Structure 1
Amino acid sequence: MTEEINTPENTAMSSPYHAGFVAVIGRPNVGKSTIMNGLLGQKLSITSPKPQTTRHRIHGIHTTEHFQIVFVDTPGMHLGASKSINRYMNRAANSAFGDVDAVLFVVEAGRWSKEDQAVADKCQNLDVPVIVLVNKIDKFKQKEELFPFLQKVGEKVPFEALIPVSAYTKSGFDAIETEILKHIPEQPAIFPEDYITDRSTRFLASEIVREKLMRTLGDEVPYGATVEIEQFKFDEEENRWHINALILVERPGQKQIVIGKKGEQIKQMGIQARKDLMHLLDSRVHLELWVKVKENWSDDERALASLGYTEDHR
C-alpha cells in the first residue's frame, strides 16, 4: 500500500477555485485606477493627475491558477452632477454596487471631503463587505501621524478591513489581495484565463489617446474633450495597424489649445499614444489624430450615446 505524501503542490491542486467581482469606488482622483492597475500587474485603466480621468466602468480581470478576481473600476463619485456626462459617470459608478462580492472603498490619507462622505453613506446600506483602502500613505514621513485619520475613517464607514496602502510604491497590495480572497465565492472562473478586460481593443485605443491628451495638456485640457476612433484596421500587406482618432472638443478655442502652437501639442500626443498603442497591439502602428468641434456634446444624451457613453458597453 502506497501512502500519498501531502506536499504543498498537492494541497494547492486540491484547493477549491475562487472567483468573484470586486468594485473599486471612491471620489475622483484618489487613485482608484492606479490601484487597480497595480493589482492587475499591468496598465489597463488610464491615469492622470486630473480629476475624473476615468469616465467609464471597466472590468480588469486578474487570473491565477487558484483564483480569478474581476475588478470593476469606476468613475469617481462626485457631487454637483449638472451635465449629462457627469450624471452618466455617477450612474456608472453606482451600478458597480450591483452583483459584486466585495467593495474596495479608496480614500486619500489625511483628507476627508463631502464627496468621501457621500460615498461612505452609500456603503451604509451594502450587504457585501467593504474594504477601506487609505491611499497615498507615502505622503506621511511619520506613520503614527496617520493614526488619527485611520480612526476617523473607521468611525465613518462600516468596514470589514481597513488597509493603509500606497498606489505609488504598491505598499499594502499583498494585504489587499489576501483580504479579497476571504470574500469571493468558490466557483469556476468567470472569464477565460487569457482575458484581461471585457472591453474591446478599439475602446482601449481610444482611452490611450485620451490619456495622452490629458497628460500633455495638464491643467489646460478642456473638460469637454473626448476621443472617438474612426478607423481601426490592420493592413496585412504593410503589417501594421492604421488608426484614425478624432478628438472632440466643445468650442473653437479649445481646438486651438489641443492643436497647440504650430501643432506641437497634438504632435506630442501622437508620439506618446503611438508608443502605447504599439505595446497594446504588439505591432507597428500608423496613427493619425484630428480635432473637431462638437458643441455641447457632454450635455447631450444622444451625442453621449453615439460616443459610447452607455451602460451597455460591449
Structure 2
Amino acid sequence: MNSEQNPDSHRCGSVAVIGRPNVGKSTLVNALVGAKVSIVSNRPQTTRHRLLGIATVEGGQLLLVDTPGLHRGQGRFKASAMSRVMNRTARSAVEDVDAALMVVEAGRWDEEDTLVFNVLRAGGIPVVLAVNKVDRLKDKSALLPFLAQVSEGRDFAAIHLVSALKRKGLEQLLRDLLKLVPEAPPVYEEDEITDRSQRFLAGELVREQLMRQLGDELPYATTVEIERFAEDGELLRIGAVVWVEREGQKPIVIGKGGVRLREIGSKARQQMERLFGRKVFLETWVRVREGWSDDEAALKAFGYE
C-alpha cells in the first residue's frame, strides 16, 4: 500500500545524494534538511566525508547521505590517496540505501555526470534527477532540450528542476523521494539534523573557512583536527589544528601578523555559535605533516573513511 492510499502511513528511508564535484549537493542537502549540516564553498571537492542529513517532514523522514563529488581523478584531483578515499566514499554511498538523488548542473552534462549515472545504474536503485542551479541558467529555453538530452536512454524515477541556493522546487522533490522509501517509523527524533557529533561539525566549519579564504590550490593541502572539545558551563572551549603538507604553506594560512588565521577562526566561531546555540571559545594552530593527503595512515588518523 502506498502513502497516497494510506495517508496515515509514515515513510522513512535512506537516499544517497550523489553527483560530480561542484554541482551543489551539500547546498541541496542543507536546504532539504532546513539547517546547515554540510559545509559549502564555491570550490569543488569541499565535501570529503560521508555525512547524514536528516530531513523530517510531514508523513516521513529522509536520511540524506551527502557524499564527496565523484570524479575521474584528473588535474587537481589526481589519483592521490585522498582522491581514492573520496571516490570510495561516494561509490559506497549507493550500498544499502533505498534510492538515490543524482544532482547535476542545469545546462551541463559531461563525462563525470555519465560516470555518476553508471555507478547508480549498477547499484540497481531508483534514481531521482535534480537539475540544480536553474536560477543561474540565463537561457531558460535551453532547459527542454537539455532535459530531453539527459533523459534519453536513462530511466529516472522523476526529474526535478531546483535551485538549492534559493530553495526553489524542493517540496515536490521531497514528496517524490518519500514515495521511494519504505513505510517505517522515524529513526531519529524530530529535532535531530545529522548523525555527526558537534566535535566533527566544528572541524568541518573551520575547514569551510579554509576552503573559502585560501587560494585555488592550498585548501586541498589542508585538513582540520579538533584536539580539544570541552564544555565549560555554557561555554564550549574548542582547540583546532590546521594541518598543511609543507612548511612553506604555514605562513600562507596564518597570514601577515596572523590576520588570516584570526579571520578564519572568527568566522568559524560565528558559524559554530549559530549551529550549536551557545558561546564558543575557539583556538587555532597550524602544523605540518608532510604529504598527509597521499598517506593512507594519515588519512585514517584524521578521520577519513
Q: Is TM-score (shorter-chain normalized) higher than 0.5?
A: yes
Match of 1:72 in 2: 65
Deviations 1:144-177 (A, max 9, x none): 2211111111125321111111112222111211
Deviations 1:176-234 (A, max 9, x none): 11111211110111223332111111000000010011112242533110000001001
Conserved? CA contact 1:123–1:157, under 8 Å? no
The counterpart of 1:47, out of the listed 40, 48, 56, is 40
Conserved? CA contact 2:23–2:103, under 8 Å? yes
The counterpart of 2:99, out of the listed 98, 102, 108, is 102
C-alpha displacement of 1:102: 1.1
Aligned-partner residue type, residue 85 of structure 2: Y
C-alpha displacement of 1:124: 2.3
Q: Superposition pairs for residues 229-248 of structure 1, below 5 Å?
A: 229-236=226-233, 239-248=234-243
Counterparts of 2:254 and 2:153, CA distance in 1: 46
Match of 1:25 in 2: 18
Match of 1:137 in 2: 134
Q: Extract unaligned runs of 5+ from structure 1.
A: 1-10
Match of 2:221 in 1: 224
Conserved? CA contact 2:36–2:275, under 8 Å? no
Conserved? CA contact 2:107–2:142, under 8 Å? no
Kindly report structure 1 stretches of 4+ aligned residues shifted beyond 6 Å. none
C-alpha displacement of 1:14: 6.5
Counterparts of 1:161 and 1:233, CA distance in 2: 46
Counterparts of 1:260 and 1:33, CA distance in 2: 29
Match of 1:264 in 2: 259
Counterparts of 1:127 and 1:189, CA distance in 2: 25
Counterparts of 1:132 and 1:218, CA distance in 2: 32
Conserved? CA contact 1:222–1:254, under 8 Å? no
Q: Secondary structure at the match of 2:179?
A: coil
Aligned-partner residue type, residue 140 of structure 2: K
The counterpart of 1:209, out of the listed 182, 186, 206, is 206
1:185 aligns with 2:178: no
The counterpart of 2:83, out of the listed 81, 86, 94, is 86
Q: Is 244-253 or 193-202 further displaced after alignment?
A: 193-202
C-alpha displacement of 1:278: 1.2
TM-score by length of 2: 0.93
Aligned-residue identity in percent: 51
Conserved? CA contact 1:217–1:265, under 8 Å? no
Conserved? CA contact 2:95–2:123, under 8 Å? no
C-alpha displacement of 1:96: 0.8
Counterparts of 2:246 and 2:219, CA distance in 1: 9
Match of 2:118 in 1: 121
Q: Is 138-147 or 165-174 further displaced after alignment?
A: 138-147
Q: Secondary structure at the match of 2:135?
A: helix
Q: Is 216-225 or 163-172 further displaced after alignment?
A: 216-225
Larger Rg belongs to: 1
Counterparts of 1:73 and 1:16, CA distance in 2: 26
Conserved? CA contact 1:220–1:257, under 8 Å? no
Match of 1:254 in 2: 249
Residue-pair matches, total: 298
Q: Is 83-92 or 60-69 further displaced after alignment?
A: 60-69
C-alpha displacement of 1:279: 1.7
Q: RMSD across aligned C-alpha pairs, in angstroms?
A: 1.8
Change (3 A) 1:64 1:163: closer
Aligned-partner residue type, residue 50 of structure 1: R
